[in-house]
């Protein structure tokens, strides 16, 4: 069984020393080539141990530009934004505004529709608390998938319980996923009723790697029903435009798109702004106290409060710049090709069973997420053996709420990104083959 080290993108030339790479000119050939040694060298942690990182759906590796942005904030002109008038502070305020504008352009929104949050979980809870709490009436309904990530399940349960404690009952209506792991559109259509106020969906499912756009519902449902997309897994992996999704709300997780943890983005479409109430009133939230009481300010500050995660937001700006330089279409194409290579390899391994996802699709699709099981050995044990050999994958139930996760959701999940190479995928397949042969 071959272990993971050493890593060479092409299989011939060794990767450059970490730190020797610069971002290069935007659009330079080296940057545009996913899987190349030059591109991999932008991610110093990859060359530290020679391990094969196949867990990008948990969090992505960080490019030098992001590491430098975090370091620069802490080591020079450290200030707060939106407050002081001296150049360090006003310069930083302009930088934060620029990241907001870049983020808006990146997702197809306007800057006042983009709020900075602590992550996707924080963003979904913000939708529940700043929109749901004040807009949902007795008997209103939210459609959701119990097989989504807990961060797109628990906030709605928490909202229902909070409203119930004030004597208001809302209904959480679960919809099914189909055999490909996609939201079952017919089931959703059947369950939409006069009291449906919100449909929430994973844009890209974190275990099944299936894409959901809800486009089949367009024109068929009351346009006042709010659509909420969890773009934690699609952001930074394929071009995502909230305007094309017709989203009212969308959340992004910066640490899954090359950024640093504790930062995220909540998109709130303008038509929803009058329905929003602050959920973090305090300094920097635009809220003012007048004789008549608290007055909410304008978006996007309406849903923000306190000191931002400033290095995190600057890192997000650097992450988006890096993604733009590589090109989202190239990222998407590389992940699709890696998915196909992995599926082709694992299909030849006796006993491997795929969870819903691209393995069952009628065409060659894939977004860099594949989950599977090996009968005769638990996914935890497979993960342990793989990690001993230098292959880092996620195993378990993947944050799908326990009571809703069928036993087969307990699986090995492989997730890739632009730094993943075909050679890594081949060596991974070889190891899984050996493990499967030993247990069957």
Ligand X SMILES: Cc1ncc(COP(=O)(O)O)c(C=O)c1O
* In the complex, least distance from residue 209 CB atom to ligand X, rounded to whole angstroms: 11
Under 8 Å CB-to-CB from 368, ≥6 apart: which residues?
56, 57, 209, 237, 335, 336, 338, 339, 415, 416, 417, 420
How far is 303 from 281, CA to CA, in rounded Å?
Answer: 8
Under 8 Å CB-to-CB from 226, ≥6 apart: which residues?
131, 197, 198, 199, 248, 249, 272
**By CB under 6 A, is residue 233 in contact with ligand X?**
yes
The answer to whether the beta carbons of residues 319 and 257 sit under 8 Å apart is yes
Active-site hit among 231, 268, 363, 399: 399
**Cross-strand bridge partners of residue 377:** 374
Under 8 Å CB-to-CB from 265, ≥6 apart: which residues?
103, 107, 114, 115, 116, 117, 123, 235, 251, 252, 254, 316
Q: Which one of 13-21, 170-178, 226-234, 406-414 is the stretch in contact with ligand X (CB under 6 A)?
A: 226-234
Q: What is the DSSP letter of 130?
A: I
Selected from 103, 212, 232, 234, the binder of ligand X by CB under 6 A is: 232
Residues numbered 318-377 forming contacts with ligand X, rule: CB under 6 A: none
Q: Which one of 169-177, 228-236, 278-286, 322-330 is the stretch in contact with ligand X (CB under 6 A)?
A: 228-236
Q: Which one of 156-164, 227-235, 312-320, 414-422 is the stretch in contact with ligand X (CB under 6 A)?
A: 227-235
**By CB under 6 A, is residue 230 in contact with ligand X?**
yes
Selected from 70, 104, 120, 315, the binder of ligand X by CB under 6 A is: 120
Give me the sign of the Cα torsion angle 36, 317, 126, 175: negative
**By CB under 6 A, is residue 125 in contact with ligand X?**
no
Residue listed under structure tokens 């959340």: 251
Q: Which one of 117-125, 165-173, 291-299, 402-410 is the stretch in contact with ligand X (CB under 6 A)?
A: 117-125
**By CB under 6 A, is residue 119 in contact with ligand X?**
yes
Under 8 Å CB-to-CB from 186, ≥6 apart: which residues?
none
Backbone angles phi, psi at 173, to 5 degrees: -110, 115
Selected from 121, 212, 339, 395, the binder of ligand X by CB under 6 A is: 121
Q: Give, in order, the Cα–Cα distances in Å from 4 to each of 93, 97, 382, 421, 435.
A: 44, 42, 15, 12, 15
Whether 399 is a known active-site residue: answer: yes
Q: For ligand X, what does the binding mask look like between residues 266 and 295, x meaning CB under 6 A?
A: ------------------------------
Q: Which one of 65-73, 149-157, 296-304, 335-343 is the stretch in contact with ligand X (CB under 6 A)?
A: 149-157
Q: For the chain, first and last CA: distance in Å? A: 17
* In the complex, least distance from residue 412 CB atom to ligand X, rounded to whole angstroms: 16
Closest CA to 58 of 145, 126, 120, 8: 120
Selected from 40, 62, 147, 149, the binder of ligand X by CB under 6 A is: 149
Q: What is the DSSP letter of 7?
A: P
* In the complex, least distance from residue 69 CB atom to ligand X, rounded to whole angstroms: 18
Q: Which one of 3-11, 13-21, 230-238, 380-388 is the stretch in contact with ligand X (CB under 6 A)?
A: 230-238
* In the complex, least distance from residue 397 CB atom to ligand X, rounded to whole angstroms: 12
Selected from 36, 61, 125, 151, the binder of ligand X by CB under 6 A is: 151
Selected from 66, 188, 202, 370, the binder of ligand X by CB under 6 A is: 202
Tokens of 385: 């053996």
Residues numbered 205-224 forming contacts with ligand X, rule: CB under 6 A: 206
Tokens of 131: 């929109």
* In the complex, least distance from residue 194 CB atom to ligand X, rounded to whole angstroms: 29
Selected from 56, 60, 130, 152, the binder of ligand X by CB under 6 A is: 152
How far is 179 from 361, CA to CA, in rounded Å?
Answer: 9
Closest CA to 414 of 334, 365, 346: 346
Task: Pick between residue 228 and residue 337 the one whose CB is nearest to ligand X.
Answer: 228
> By Cβ distance, which residue is nearest to ligand X?
119
Angle between helices 120-127 and 154-165 (to 10 degrees): 30
* In the complex, least distance from residue 371 CB atom to ligand X, rounded to whole angstroms: 13
Tokens of 76: 């020079």
Task: Pick between residue 261 and residue 297 the one whose CB is nearest to ligand X.
Answer: 261
Q: For ligand X, what does the binding mask look like between residues 234 and 253, x meaning CB under 6 A?
A: -------------------x
**By CB under 6 A, is residue 103 in contact with ligand X?**
no
Residues numbered 24-83 forming contacts with ligand X, rule: CB under 6 A: none
How far is 253 from 261, CA to CA, in rounded Å?
Answer: 8
Task: Pick between residue 42 and residue 316 the one whose CB is nearest to ligand X.
Answer: 316
The residues that touch ligand X, with contacts defined as CB under 6 A, are 119-121, 149, 151-152, 202, 206, 230, 232-233, 253, 264, 399
- Catalytic residue positions, numbered: 399
């Amino acid at each position: 069984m071959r272990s993971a080290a050493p890593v060479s993108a092409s299989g011939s030339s060794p990767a450059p020393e970490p730190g020797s790479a610069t971002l290069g000119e935007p659009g330079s050939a080296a940057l545009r080539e996913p899987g190349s040694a030059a591109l991999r060298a932008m991610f110093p942690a990859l060359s530290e141990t020679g391990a094969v990182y196949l867990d990008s759906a948990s969090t992505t590796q960080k490019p030098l530009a992001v590491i430098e942005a975090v370091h620069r904030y802490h080591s020079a002109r450290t200030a707060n934004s939106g407050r002081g008038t001296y150049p360090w502070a006003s310069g930083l305020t302009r930088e934060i505004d620029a990241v907001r504008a870049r983020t808006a352009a990146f997702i197809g929104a306007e800057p006042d529709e983009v709020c900075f949050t602590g992550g996707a979980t924080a963003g979904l809870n913000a939708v529940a608390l700043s929109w749901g709490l004040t807009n949902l009436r007795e008997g209103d309904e939210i459609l959701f998938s119990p097989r989504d990530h807990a961060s797109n399940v628990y906030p709605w349960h928490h909202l229902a319980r909070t409203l119930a404690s004030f004597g208001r009952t809302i209904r959480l209506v679960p919809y099914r996923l189909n055999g490909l792991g996609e939201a079952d559109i017919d089931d959703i259509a059947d369950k939409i009723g006069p009291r449906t106020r919100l449909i929430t969906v994973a844009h890209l499912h974190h275990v099944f790697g299936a894409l959901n756009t809800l486009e089949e519902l367009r024109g068929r449902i009351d346009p006042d029903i709010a659509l909420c997309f969890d773009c934690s897994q699609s952001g930074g992996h394929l071009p995502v435009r909230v305007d094309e999704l017709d989203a009212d709300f969308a959340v992004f997780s910066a640490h899954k798109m090359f950024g640093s943890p504790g930062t995220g983005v909540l998109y709130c479409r303008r038509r929803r702004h009058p329905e929003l109430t602050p959920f973090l009133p305090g300094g920097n939230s635009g809220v003012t106290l007048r004789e008549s009481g608290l007055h909410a300010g304008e978006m996007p500050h309406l849903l923000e409060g306190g000191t931002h995660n400033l290095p995190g937001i600057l890192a997000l700006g650097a992450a988006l710049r890096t993604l733009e330089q590589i090109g989202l279409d190239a990222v998407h194409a590389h992940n699709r090709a890696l998915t196909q290579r992995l599926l082709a390899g694992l299909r030849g391994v006796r006993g491997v069973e795929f969870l819903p996802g691209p393995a069952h699709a009628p065409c060659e699709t894939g977004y860099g997420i594949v989950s599977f099981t090996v009968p005769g050995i638990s996914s935890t044990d497979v993960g342990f053996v793989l990690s001993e050999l230098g292959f880092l994958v996620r195993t378990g139930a993947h944050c799908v709420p326990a009571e809703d996760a069928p036993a087969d959701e307990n699986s090995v999940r492989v997730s890739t990104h632009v730094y993943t190479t075909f050679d890594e995928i081949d060596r991974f397949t070889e190891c899984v083959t050996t493990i499967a042969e030993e247990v069957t």
